[in-house]
Amino acid sequence: MEREYQIKKRVTDPGESRSGIDYKAELNEQQYAAVSSDPGASLVIAGAGSGKTRALTYRVAYLLDQGVEARNILLLTFTNKASKEMIERVTELVPGDISDLWGGTFHSIGNRILRRHADELGFNRSFSILDRDDQKALLKPIVKNAAADVKNKRFPKPDLLLSIFSLVLNTQESLEDVLHYRYEYLQEWEHEIKKIYETYIRKKKETNSMDFDDLLVLTLELLKKDEDILELYQRKFKYVLVDEYQDTNMVQCEIVDLLVGKSKNLMVVGDDAQSIYSWRGADMENILHFHMRYPSAETYKIETNYRSQPEILELSNAAIAANTEQIEKKLTASRKGGEMVPALLALADPRAQADFVAQRVQELVDGGIEEEEIAVLYRAHYQSMEIQMEFTSRLIPFQITSGLRFFEQAHVKDVSSYIRFVVNGRDEISFKRMALMLPGVGDASADKLWRSWLKSDVGSSDKVPQSFSATLLDLKVPAKAKSHWEQMCYTLDELVISGGDEGVFAAPADMIYSIIEGVYEDYMQSAFDNYENRKQDIGQLQTYATQYTDVMEFLAQLSLMSNVDGDPSQKKQKKEEQKGVTLSSIHQAKGLEWKVVFIVWLADGMFPNGKILESEDNKMLEEERRLFYVALTRAKDQLYLSYPMMNPRSYSGEVFQNPSRFLDDFPAELVDEWKVNGW
C-alpha cells in the first residue's frame, strides 16, 4: 500500500520578502498583479515597451521568495540572449544560489532532457547536434542518390530542402501541404523530396545525430511516448514560465502543455500584436486561444508603455486597432509628450526618399543625437539600397542588422559575375562563380573548365568575342550540367552586341534582364528558400542599373558600393565597433528601440507586401499590420513615415505608387504632413 508523506515548506508572509524586494514599490500596479498572482494558469499580455522582461524576472524572484525551490522552476525563452539576460537579472534580485533553476531556450531545454533519455528513442546519449553545414554534408549524398536522373531541370539545393523539412517539423503539417502552400513551384519534385526526407530522418538516427528541429520534435515524442519520464518532469517543474508566447509553434506549445501537467502552474507572457513570424511556423492561435486549453486561467494586461512619447503611442494604438483578430488592449504612455508629432512624408521617388533620410539624419546628429540612437526600418532588405548608397556618399556610418550590405549579397554578386566575365574574359573569380552554380560542378570541375577556357584562342585573347558559346560549348562539362551550361553560354552571347578590341555591350539593365530570364531565376528557385525576396533584390538592382549606359561605369559603382574585397582588418574592426545608424528589416528590429526611427517605403505593394495584397488573405494582411505596429513601437522620441510617390521600373517606365493602406488606419491629425522641397 502506497503512503504519501508531504514535506512542508515554509511559506513567506506576502508582506515579507527574503530578497528584500518591495514588489509594490518597484512595480506598477499591473505588473505587480501579474508578478504576485496565485498559482495556476495565467496569461500576461505585455504590450510593447511595458516592461515584459521586468515582470518575468520579478515573477521568478517572487516565487523564490515564496519558498519555491529554484530547481522546481522552468523559464523558457526564444533566444540565448534573452535567457542570459533574465537569469542575470534574477541573480541580481535574489540572494543565494539559483543555479538549479532551469532557464534557457526551448532548444537548450530539449537538449538537456534528451541528454538524459535519448536511449528511449533509439539514440545514444552522446548524440551529435548538427549545425547547418553538418546537415548539408549529411544530405548531399542522399540528394545525389535520390535525384541521380535529374538532368534537364534544377533539383532543389540542400539548403532549400532543409528549410522545407524544418517547416514540416515545426508546423506539424504534411510535406505535401508545405509544398502546396509555400513552395508550389517545387511540387513536381514531391516524390523525390519525400524520399529524401525519409532517408534523411533515417540517416540521422544511424549516425546518432540530431539537428536543431529534433531537439524540439524528439523531446515532444519522448514526453508523449514515456509516461514515467513525463511524470518525472511534471513533478520537477512545479512552475513553468514562457516568454514571447505569441511566437510559439505547435511543437513548443504542446511541450509546454505536457510539462505543466495537472498542476497548471503556467505563466505565459507575450503580445499578440507583435506576432510576426508565421512564415517560420509560429502560430498566433496559441496565445489567442489560450483559454480554450486553460479555461480557468487569469488574464493580466500590462499596458503602461515606458518607451515612446504619447504622440507615437497614440498613433500605434490607432494603427493596430484595425485588426480584428487580437486581444483588446490599449497602451498608455508614462512619458510626457510635446516633443514631436510623427511626421508623414510623400517623396518624389526612392532617391528623393534616400536624400531626405540622409539629410535629416545629418541634422539630428549635428543636433546632438548619437548615430547609434537612429534607425531606418523597412519591410524588405532591397528597400534599403538607395539609402545605403546615399549614406555611403555622405560618409554617414551605418550598420546592417537585416543582412549583408545590398551589393555584398550572394545573389547580387552572382548576377554581376556574368557581366564581369563578358567584360573581362580573364576574370577567374567570376567564371568559377558562374560554373559553380551549375548542377554537378564542384571546385575541381570549375577549375578544369577555367584552364580549358584559358587554353582556347578566345580565352587567351584580350579581345571580346562576338560569341562565347562558339568556344565554351566545346568544353567538357558533367552530364548533369550540360543543358544548364548551354543556356549559360547562350545567355553570355546576349550580353554582347559586337566583339572586338573594346567590345560593345548591351545596356546594364538589359544585361540583368537577360541573365535572370536565361539562367538565374531557375537557379534562385532551386537554391534559396527566400526566392521571392531575392528576386525583388535583383529587380531593384535592375532598376538601379537603368541610370547607366556604360557597363564599365556600372561595374565600377558596384565595386565601390561593396566592401567585400576591402581590408579584412577594417571589416573586423567595423564589426566589433558596431557604430552608426542602424538599417534593419522590421523582423530583425523586434525587441530593439531607438530615439529616432524612419519607416520607409510605406506604399501599397511594398508595405504591405504585394504578394499578400494579391492573395487577399486577410490573416496575412493582419500580420503585415502587426509588423507595421512593431515598427511604430520601436521609436522613443521621433518617428518619420515616408513613401516614394513614383517608382522607376526598367521596362515600364515610372510607376505611380499609392500610399500604404496602413496609413488610412489612423486619423490624419495624428501625424504632421511634411512637404519636402528641392525635388
Region for residue 282 given its phi and psi (left: phi exceeds 0; alpha: psi -120 to 50; beta: otherwise): beta
Active site residue 119: no
Active site residue 604: no
| Gap between the Cα atoms of 179 and 420, Å rounded | 36
| Gap between the Cα atoms of 166 and 73, Å rounded | 29
Q: How many CB atoms lie within 10 A of CB 331?
A: 24
**CA–CA distance from 51 to each of 330, 334, 568 (Å)?**
15, 12, 40
Given 192, 211, 214, 243, the catalytic residue:
243
| Sign of the Cα pseudo-torsion (228, 231, 233, 235, in order) | negative
CA neighbor of 252 nearest in space, from 284, 220, 276: 220
Active site residue 448: no
Active site residue 634: yes
Given 314, 634, 636, 657, the catalytic residue:
634
Given 52, 307, 379, 413, the catalytic residue:
52
CA neighbor of 252 nearest in space, from 286, 295, 297: 286
Active site residue 480: no
| Gap between the Cα atoms of 343 and 332, Å rounded | 20
Active site residue 52: yes
Given 135, 274, 399, 633, the catalytic residue:
274
DSSP state, residue 325? S
Yes or no: say if 658 and 346 are a contact pair by the CB < 8 Å rule.
no
CA neighbor of 34 nearest in space, from 24, 48, 19: 24
CA neighbor of 627 nearest in space, from 403, 379, 380: 379
CA neighbor of 388 nearest in space, from 248, 540, 515, 523: 540
Secondary-structure breakdown of the chain: helix, strand, coil percentages, each rounded to the nearest 5: 55, 15, 35
Yes or no: say if 472 and 492 are a contact pair by the CB < 8 Å rule.
yes
Given 65, 213, 244, 247, the catalytic residue:
244
Given 12, 18, 53, 335, the catalytic residue:
53
Which positions are catalytic? 52-53, 243-244, 274, 634
